[in-house]
Structure 1
Amino acid sequence: MTVHMNGSASNRPARAGLALGAALVSAMLCTPATAAAPEEAGKGPGAAATTPAHAERACPVVYFDLGETLVHTADDGSTTYLPGAASYLRNLRGRHIRVGLITNVPPSWGTTDAERAARLRTEVDATWRGPVPFAWADFGDRIRTPRTEAERKPSPVLWQRAKDDSAGCRVVYQAETAQEVSVASSLGFVSYQVGRPKRPVFLPAGLVELLGRRHG
């Protein structure tokens, strides 16, 4: 299966999303990944936390593009993890951070997300050449795919569906293209363009965990 990336030029919303990601990374570099969650002012460890009714639930949920973000399809058609992707997913799993996919596949692959996700898994697994299989179990039922051609990215529909299905949790989106990062940012995702020079390949897992402790 060949997974194509969606190329585009950077625009202002994309730069804003990247600037946010860079700022968050900068802040996290000074914060140990194992740091304890901050207690509310004036409360001891056993005190009950209170959350404003309008606040975003902590969670968070990290969504990814698939092709050229987590996996790479070589010229011979074989598919493998991109460098660092498998270990990054393991790190998120170890921190109990939920993950999902927002990816374009042919709408004809099924009438539901579950059916299209099953076909996607079949296609990827048929060409997989990595030493360990792709971690499908991590993504559960959080694989969002287009129901029609009109819903294909960069249409905002898939991101909006993912956000609506995340039960008010803070949502993160990571992809290799500025255009997708821009759309996700415009819908309220904390978005991060992966694989940029002189930056972490992915948004550091410790930072994602910290985001989940802060309410919007």
Structure 2
Amino acid sequence: MNSRTASRGSARVGLVLGAAVASVVLCTTVSAAAPGTASGVAGRDSAARPAGERGCPLVYFDLGETLVHTAEDGSIAYRSGAASYLRALRERRITVGLITNVPSSWGTTDAERAARLKKEVDAKWKGSVPFAWEDFDGRTLTPRTEAERKPAPVLWQRALTEAGPCRLVFQAETAEEVGGAASLGFVPYQIGQPHRPAFLPVGLVQLLGHR
């Protein structure tokens, strides 16, 4: 095989993979169960908003080994590509949240547990760019009891109840958590997989609010 043929073959493979990612995401969106009908967005008291307005879709993430990585020395930093991905979502006014396991003993409310989480992460943070906590604006769901820890469905169910009409996405590093979210109607995306974008492409995320 000559270099020109190989180049054309690589280009075709790239196009096929891109189309496959789009197909999987959009097909999952169409077949996913509709989110809960309660008004408001997690962490806010605003009324439910029509699909397509700011806040739809709503992208939830796991935190550890999804957006951040803990090194062997205990330091914490952004996972490769995570900071720029969050920035791209922010620039497009796409609402984001966290659904993450922390000890239930860290507080009696999500806000208290989230504050302790921020303190723990910031104390071990490495890098010149701090974690973008402000992007999440109170949308951090954490276990109220140890029995609510993922992969138990409680945290995802709470997100669905609070999301109104918004299409929900969940991105994490493990197939178990992604599968758990998908079974409840989230658009799932397992990050860090070979031959796929590190995170669900922002353009596809935008499309989900119009499906």
Give the TM bin, normalised by the shorter chain: 0.7 to 0.9
Residue equivalent to 1:158: 155
| Secondary structure of the corresponding residue to residue 151 of structure 2 | coil
| Secondary structure of the corresponding residue to residue 141 of structure 1 | coil
Deviation string for 1:35-74 (max 9, x for gaps)?
xxxxxxxxxxxxxxxxxxxxx8341100000000000000
Where do residues 169-180 of structure 1 align in structure 2 (5 Å cutoff)?
169-180=166-177
Cα distance in 1 between the residues matched to 2:24 and 2:88:
19
One of 193, 196, 203 as aligned partner of 2:193: 196
Gaps of 5+ in 1: 1-20, 29-55
Contact in 1 for aligned 2:66/2:171 (Cα 8 Å): yes
Paired residue type of 2:95: R
Kindly indicate whether residue 51 of structure 2 is the aligned counterpart of residue 57 of structure 1.
yes
RMSD: 1.8
Contact in 1 for aligned 2:89/2:202 (Cα 8 Å): yes
Contact in 2 for aligned 1:142/1:162 (Cα 8 Å): no
TM-score by length of 1: 0.74
Residue equivalent to 2:84: 87
How far apart are residue 24 of structure 1 and its match? 4.7
Q: Which has the higher helix share?
A: 2
Cα distance in 2 between the residues matched to 1:68 and 1:139:
17
How far apart are residue 147 of structure 1 and its match? 0.1
TM-score by length of 2: 0.76
Paired residue type of 1:124: V
Kindly indicate whether residue 113 of structure 2 is the aligned counterpart of residue 128 of structure 1.
no
| Secondary structure of the corresponding residue to residue 181 of structure 1 | helix
Where do residues 1-216 of structure 1 align in structure 2 (5 Å cutoff)?
23-26=20-23, 57-58=51-52, 59-214=56-211
Identity %: 71
Which ranges of 4 or more aligned residues in structure 1 deviate by more than 2 Å? 21-28
